[in-house]
């Protein structure tokens, strides 16, 4: 079964049949360890494609990333095509899109996929998951959040010109103002995440996961009890401290 385009529902159907087809091709005998490993890779790629498509990535593009993540690479277009049972055109398009999303990268050298013919371009997965998710976040911000800002600004200005003439116009201006504040704040948060190193984001989030439920509740409540000005002042003060100064202010940790 050949799939002509990434994102086509046929990719999901085709790969859902892989497990059964793989067993049938082998005559129903017990799979070897190598065959079982490959079956897991293909099943993972199919389901990964379905899940990641919710982020705006075409299912077959995400499936290519999923297969490379499970395999490790380097793999050529032919390797991908055979593993995922998709057409040459679909494999090329999925690889190009996965590269644009920052999910995969060229291996830096070509690899021969068969016995004859020129060596094909090989691909590797981006294994720093914070790095590729950063890039996905950047693209989605540009596609989904930033286009809202000029739209809201234009509609707000039009409503403002009518605000003094009509109560409904005043209500519309108020509602759009609230929505614009939300969109601008969300855009700013996403921008800050983009500009932060993937190492910092990973370190901060992993540190937060080490707090137990009571500690997390206490932390969030303490921050909520601060006024906006107090919280901003505290964060600015924290940002001005060097690592050595910050260590001096932390409780002594017994490393023994």
Collapsing DSSP to helix, strand or coil, 108 comes out as strand
| Res 236: pLDDT | 87
Indicate yes or no: pTM above 0.75.
Answer: no
Mean pLDDT of 232-244: 85
What whole-number distance in Å separates Cα of residue 121 and Cα of residue 111?
6
Structure tokens of 181? 């504040």
Closest CA to 123 of 157, 75, 79, 82: 75
Does residue 99 register a pLDDT over 90? yes
What is the architecture, at CATH level 2, of domain 9-127? Orthogonal Bundle (1.10)
Neighbours of 177 (CB within 10 A): 14
Nearby residues of 182 by Cβ (< 8 Å), 6 or more positions away: none
Mean pLDDT of 124-150: 86
| Res 92: pLDDT | 93
| Res 246: pLDDT | 78
Domain ranges of the chain: 9-127, 135-228
Q: Tell me: the pLDDT tens digits for 5-51?
A: 444 444 444 444 445 445 444 455 677 888 888 888 999 999 999 98
Mean pLDDT check: name the lowest of 4-8, 182-186, 210-214, 218-222: 4-8
Q: Is the peptide bond before 74 cis (omega within 30 degrees of 0)?
A: yes
| Res 249: pLDDT | 76
- Tracing tokens 């892989």 back to the chain, one arrives at 18
80, 113 Cβ separation under 8 angstroms? no
Q: How confident is the model at residue 132 (pLDDT cuts 50, 70, 90)?
A: confident
Does residue 131 register a pLDDT over 70? yes
Q: Tell me: the pLDDT tens digits for 171-197?
A: 888 889 999 999 998 888 888 887 787
Does residue 90 register a pLDDT over 70? yes
Phi, psi for residue 3 in degrees, rounded to 5: -110, 130
């Amino acid at each position: 079964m050949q799939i002509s385009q990434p994102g086509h529902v046929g990719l999901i159907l085709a790969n859902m049949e892989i497990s059964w087809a793989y067993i049938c091709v082998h005559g129903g005998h017990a799979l070897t360890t190598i065959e079982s490993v490959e079956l897991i890779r293909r099943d993972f790629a199919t389901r990964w494609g379905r899940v990641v498509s919710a982020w705006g990535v075409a299912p077959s593009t995400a499936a290519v990333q999923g297969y490379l993540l499970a395999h490790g690479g380097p793999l050529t277009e032919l390797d991908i095509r055979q593993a995922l049972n998709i057409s040459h055109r679909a494999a090329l398009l999925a690889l190009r899109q996965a590269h644009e999303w920052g999910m995969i990268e060229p291996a830096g050298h070509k690899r021969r996929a068969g016995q004859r013919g020129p060596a094909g371009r090989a691909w590797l997965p981006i294994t720093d998951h914070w790095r590729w998710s950063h890039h996905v976040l950047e693209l989605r911000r540009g596609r989904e959040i930033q286009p809202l800002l000029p739209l809201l600004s234009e509609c707000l200005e039009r409503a403002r010109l009518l605000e003094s003439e009509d109560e409904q116009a005043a209500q519309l201006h108020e509602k759009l103002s609230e929505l614009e504040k939300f969109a601008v704040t969300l855009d700013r948060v996403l921008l800050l995440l983009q500009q932060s190193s993937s190492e910092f984001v990973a370190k901060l989030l992993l540190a937060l996961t080490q707090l137990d439920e009571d500690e997390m509740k206490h932390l969030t409540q303490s921050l909520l009890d601060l006024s906006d000005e107090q919280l901003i002042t505290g964060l600015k003060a924290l940002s001005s401290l060097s690592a050595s100064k910050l260590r001096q202010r932390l409780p002594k940790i017994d490393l023994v």
